[in-house]
Amino acid sequence: MQRKTRKNFHGHKKARGLALLEILIAIGILGLIAAGVATLASRTFEAQSANDINEDLTDMAISIQNGFKRTATYTATTDNTVEALSDANVIADSAAINPETSDFYGFFPAARTATSTDDAFVITVDALSPSLCTTLVTGGLLEDAEYVEVTIGGTAPTAVDFSVTNTFTTGTPSGIIKTTTDGVSELMSDPLEAFQVCENPSNMITAGYY
């Protein structure tokens, strides 16, 4: 009887050990699945943000061009902001808000050439992660805008001339990557080079139109 009891005891102990191992394996598998789902969700949200921002920039650029078509320049005043343009129904409220900050996009007049004044404008998109910034500057934005510059988040250019030369160089975060003089920087055609322009923890894109 004693021998049988010991045998049963060892059998139960072995069964508990196998059950614990199976639980640990199951937890590990669930952890891998959760990590995969989280990564996929993150990429999906980022792709949606990039799509939303591209649509906002296109909508605002067309609306601003139409709104100022009867004037020779884009008014340069401290009140001339995306918020003010939205209040004046120049641009749609739905296109005025940066989804990354829940605040208004930036806006200010710019110059098409070194000898002109306020005959163009730029829209700034702040608080962009490196990956979202890279997605934007290697996508439709680079084709649609006449001027594109990447700077450290929160630091918009003080003045913009579309006719300057590109300043982005290998291994240097930030820089001008498209102008009316040079077109798109050759470095942007190489994905191993292109991602470097957005390597700051937070990035701002300045997109120019006229």
Domain membership flag for residue 30: no
Domain membership flag for residue 173: yes
pLDDT of residue 40: 47
CATH number of the domain encompassing residue 161? 3.30.1690.10
Where is average pLDDT lowest: 38-42, 98-102, 185-189?
38-42
b/e code 148-162 from CB counts within 10 Å (16+ = b): bbbbebeebbeebbb
pLDDT of residue 187: 96
How many angstroms separate the Cα of 161 from the Cα of each of 34, 119, 199?
48, 10, 24
How many angstroms separate the Cα of 17 from the Cα of each of 6, 8, 20, 29?
16, 14, 5, 18
Domain membership flag for residue 88: yes
Domain membership flag for residue 131: yes
**Residue 39, pLDDT above cutoff 80:** no
Question: Between 173 and 39, where is the model more confident?
Answer: 173
Domain membership flag for residue 29: no
Question: Between 79 and 89, where is the model more confident?
Answer: 89
Domain membership flag for residue 11: no
**Residue 30, pLDDT above cutoff 60:** yes
**Residue 143, pLDDT above cutoff 70:** yes
What tokens appear for 117 in the block?
Answer: 């004044």
Q: Give the mean pLDDT of 29-55.
A: 75
Q: Give the mean pLDDT of 193-197.
A: 94
How many structural domains compose the chain?
1
Phi-psi region of 152 (alpha: psi -120 to 50; beta: other; left: phi over 0): beta
Average pLDDT of the chain to the nearest whole number: 88
pLDDT of residue 31: 74
Which tens digit of pLDDT belongs to each residue from 96-142? 999 999 999 999 999 999 999 999 999 999 999 999 999 999 999 99
pLDDT of residue 26: 75
Above pLDDT 70, what percent of the chain?
Answer: 85
Domain membership flag for residue 120: yes
pTM: 0.80
**Residue 176, pLDDT above cutoff 90:** yes
* Residue 121, domain extent: 48-209
Question: Between 49 and 42, where is the model more confident?
Answer: 49
Q: Give the mean pLDDT of 6-10.
A: 53
The per-type count for the chain, helices as H runs and strands as E runs, is: 5, 8
Domain membership flag for residue 151: yes
What distance in Å separates the CA atoms of residue 188 and residue 196, rounded to the nearest whole number?
A: 10
**Residue 2, pLDDT above cutoff 70:** no
